[in-house]
Amino acid sequence: MQRLAHDGVLIVGAGLAGLSAALAAAPRKALVLTDAPLNRGCSSAWAQGGMAAALSEGDTAARHAQDTIAAGAGLVDPAVARLLTEEGPAAVRALAGLGAPFDRAADGAFAQSLEAAHSYPRVARVKGDQAGAAIMAAVIAAVLAAPHIEVRTGHRLRGLLQDAGGRVRGVVCEQDGRLVEIAAAATILATGGIGGLYEVTTTPAELMGEGLGLAALAGAVIADPEFVQFHPTAIDVGRDPAPLATEALRGEGAVLVGADGARFMARYHPDAELAPRDVVARAIHAERQAARGAFLDAREAVGAHFPEEFPAVFAACMAGGVDPRVQPIPVVPACHYHMGGIATDADGATSLPGLFAAGECASTGAHGANRLASNSLLEAAVFGARAGRAAAAAPEAAPARLVRLVAPSLPPAALQSLRRAMSRDAGVIRSADGLLRLLDEIEALATQHGRSAALVAARLAAASALARAESRGGHFRSDATAIDAVPRRTFIRWPDLPPAAWKHAAE
């Protein structure tokens, strides 16, 4: 085994959170490890909506915070929402300063769009659906020019290094089939979400909760892992991952119709196509289950303007054999975002000394039970930078004997059966029976293949969904449709819930 020591901050993951952390760590050295080449294998580059921030006259951070808290269905930490929304405008301006080409009004001010559950137009976008790609291009250019940052691709996270006191002292990565230990004073996990645990996902399929699972195995507190957001309109053209048809299309007037061409959303919510994301996802799920089909019809709302106004959606549809200018787009709900994650404070510190987390793998308390649209890039930029600054202040640790915690990988066939089971039983609609069946399947896979980080992440989500016998935000239980009077967040540690205790804890 190769052993290396990095004199500075070690960051795993090269999405917007990881790279924001690296930039903010200056003048301390930052080493970024990523499996995929830059701009690949991260959700940030695929984000279509934009970045929410109160940048217009008439809007305020307090109003943005209120909307964030309302969307989160009782579980958002108000102090974190305030911090996020107060730092939002400066974060957008900083990205614009790096060259992110946000849409501008005639007077040069940021153009702001309205998205569902925002009380004011406050989403800074780039050419319809290009925000994530354009922001990442600007940030990557800044990272490559920064003398304090080194990026190493081809490094897949396999484990964590801990000392006898439980302090995280670095990571174990796989490079060209060999394990490499890299020790550092501070480690930031920015490893993304859990979309790859689901059969249908809008995120890169390689994101399977590795950071979350490994942090849990190391003893970190995990928050709200049952809260998964399903985007209603992934494009159903048989691709894995499924391309996204941004919510902005419905904002522009596109409508949801069945195979017979009739609109159906009015049967589910007075706001029809602009109802909250979880309501639209469940409606589409129900229409598909009833074999009536679900399609996004943007022929009138966008029509011939598709190639210029929504280039990413247009390209994905055309590649799948659907011309959205003249045909309704077949749609399916897909795993889109994990609100839960490694519990952190506002500076990314986890419950384990030496370990920080940022972006989708973290749970800062900003999103609660349901993330407000276009708050994820914002959170990645704001809390990524905060984690980078805090980790850079960590003192060098004295040499110590380190314990290597390496989890096995899940073979491809086992992963496919996990993905099917997660979509079936921990998807848009859950029930105790389904979740118990899922936990049995996860247990059987762990017995056969070992306790991989992906199985740990899946088990955390499934067991917490079973324990939460209510319906709140993105978590809907067909056998417990009411919402509890008193909201409570989930905080769990893996060692507190050995396999045999999962079911009993929930019964």
Positions in the binding site for ligand SIN (CB under 6 A): 48-49, 246-248, 336, 373-374, 376
Please tell me the distance from the alpha carbon of residue 9 to that of residue 29, in angstroms, as a whole number. 6
Is the CB of 299 or the CB of 336 nearer to ligand SIN?
336
Residue with tokens 């890299």: 182
- The 8-class DSSP code of residue 372 comes to P
Tell me which residue of 8, 87, 43, 44 sits closest to 364, measured CA to CA.
87
Is the CB of 244 or the CB of 445 nearer to ligand SIN?
244
Is the CB of 310 or the CB of 502 nearer to ligand SIN?
310
Cβ 336 to ligand SIN shortest distance, Å: 6
Asked if the bond preceding 241 is cis, omega within 30° of 0, the reply is yes
CA 164 to chain centre: 32
Query: Which of 122, 125, 277, 282 is the catalytic position?
Result: 277
Cβ 332 to ligand SIN shortest distance, Å: 14
Please tell me the distance from the alpha carbon of residue 394 to that of residue 9, in angstroms, as a whole number. 8
Cβ 94 to ligand SIN shortest distance, Å: 20
Cβ 296 to ligand SIN shortest distance, Å: 11
Cβ 47 to ligand SIN shortest distance, Å: 6
Q: Say how many C-beta atoms besides its own lie within 10 A of residue 119's C-beta.
A: 12
Is the CB of 48 or the CB of 201 nearer to ligand SIN?
48
Is the CB of 198 or the CB of 356 nearer to ligand SIN?
198
Greatest pairwise CA separation for the chain in angstroms: 69
Is the CB of 373 or the CB of 466 nearer to ligand SIN?
373
Question: Long-range contacts: 312-315, Cβ < 8 Å, 24+?
Answer: 312/48, 312/128, 312/129, 312/130, 312/133, 312/243, 312/244, 313/48, 313/129, 313/235, 313/243, 313/244, 313/245, 313/246, 313/249
Is the CB of 162 or the CB of 374 nearer to ligand SIN?
374
Is the distance from CB of 380 to CB of 18 less than 8 angstroms? no
Tell me which residue of 156, 150, 201 sits closest to 177, measured CA to CA.
156
Cβ 123 to ligand SIN shortest distance, Å: 8
What is the end-to-end Cα distance of the chain in Å, rounded? Answer: 45
- Which two three-digit tokens encode residue 244? 């996204």
In the complex, residue closest to ligand SIN by CB:
49
Active site annotation includes 277: yes
Is the CB of 162 or the CB of 376 nearer to ligand SIN?
376
Cβ 121 to ligand SIN shortest distance, Å: 15
Classify the C-alpha dihedral 19-24-26-31 as positive or negative.
negative
Question: Over 73-108, what HEC string results?
Answer: CCCCCHHHHHHHHHHHHHHHHHHHHHCCCCCECCCC
Cβ 46 to ligand SIN shortest distance, Å: 10
Q: Which helix (H) or strand (E) is 157 found in, with range?
A: strand 156-162
Cβ 135 to ligand SIN shortest distance, Å: 13
Residues 6+ apart with CB under 8 A from 111: 102, 103, 104, 105, 124, 125
Asked if the bond preceding 27 is cis, omega within 30° of 0, the reply is yes
Is the CB of 338 or the CB of 449 nearer to ligand SIN?
338
Please tell me the distance from the alpha carbon of residue 52 to that of residue 456, in angstroms, as a whole number. 32
Active site residues: 277
